[in-house]
A and B are shown apart, each in its own frame.
Chain A
Amino acid sequence: MTAAYSGWVIAAALLLALAGIVTAVRDRTMGVVLLGGLALLEVALLVQAGIALSGIGHVREKATFIGYLAGTLVIPPAAVWWGMAERTRWGPGVIAVAGFTVAVMTGRLMQIWNGAA
């Protein structure tokens, strides 16, 4: 994992969370922008997982690390599914939660990667 790449992932996830909040405040349902954003985020997370797994020997707490990694990959698809099911402003609300969660989890991944507890 590289700090530069994961920094961008965190920024993108937070941006998506912000877009979700804005959409919810404007009382809109999930649209193309949020859907595309989630898809892009998932691709970015898959790349991140590839980078991380190629250097997994470096990590001491492997179980925790892989758990977080898998968690980040599951969240965007779950958010898409929920955004489609909930056709009110609360759909984008869930997407905001998803974006924020991915940002926090990526931050934790960086900490574990760098050897912090």
Chain B
Amino acid sequence: MTQGEPQVRSGPGRLLVAVYGVFALAATSRAGVQIATKFAEAPLAYLLSAFAAVVYIVLTVALARNNRRVALAACSIELAGVLIVGTLSLADSQAFPDATVWSGYGSGYGFVPLLLPVLGLVWLLRRRRPAA
């Protein structure tokens, strides 16, 4: 961290770290239980759950450590993931017999998974401009 570089993690950023931390915890434990106990029932959905968990963990760590580039990349992947999985889960419910965090655009979690990457991107990009 060099002097004068805008902080990603303090202020509103700290709120994002907290929420992402909760989601990382929730998604990891959910995916862990699903894969450990009933993986054969819906392998695709459970692998996606695990992938989502990894993205949330990376984001939490990147934000907490002020790593803007990694956070931006992970945020973009997250947004793409929510949109793609959300659309697929509605279009082809056969492939998703069990819910993932991102099913139905995160409707099982009050659409927070859809809102989070948008807020994250807004925060990360807004802080870039007044960097001087």
Contacts and interface: CB of A to CB of B under 8 A. Distances in A.
Interface of A: 61, 63-64, 67, 71, 82, 86, 88, 90-91, 93-94, 97-98, 101
B14 A64 contact: no
A93 B14 CA distance: 9
B33 A90 contact: no
B22 interface: yes
Q: What secondary structure prevails in chain B residues at the interface with A? A: helix
27 contacts: A63-B33, A63-B36, A64-B29, A64-B33, A67-B29, A67-B33, A71-B25, A82-B14, A86-B10, A86-B11, A86-B14, A88-B10, A88-B11, A90-B11, A90-B13, A90-B14, A90-B15, A91-B14, A93-B12, A93-B15, A94-B14, A94-B15, A94-B18, A97-B15, A97-B18, A97-B22, A98-B18
Q: What secondary structure prevails in chain A residues at the interface with B? A: helix
Contacts of A63: 33, 36-37
Contacts, number: 36
Contacts of A90: 10-15
Contacts of A67: 29, 33
Interface string B15-50: 100110010010001000100110000000000000
Nearest to A93: B15
Contacts of B14: 82, 86, 90-91, 93-94
Nearest to A85: B14
Contact of A101 (B15, B22, B33): B22
Contacts of B19: 97
A64 B14 CA distance: 27
Contacts of B36: 63
A63 B15 CA distance: 29
Nearest to A97: B18
A98 B18 CA distance: 8
A91 to B, nearest CB: 7
Given A94-B14, A94-B18, A98-B18, 13 more contacts: A63-B33, A63-B36, A63-B37, A64-B29, A64-B33, A82-B18, A86-B14, A90-B10, A90-B11, A93-B14, A97-B15, A97-B19, A97-B22
A82 B10 CA distance: 10
Interface in B61-90: none
Contacts of A61: 33
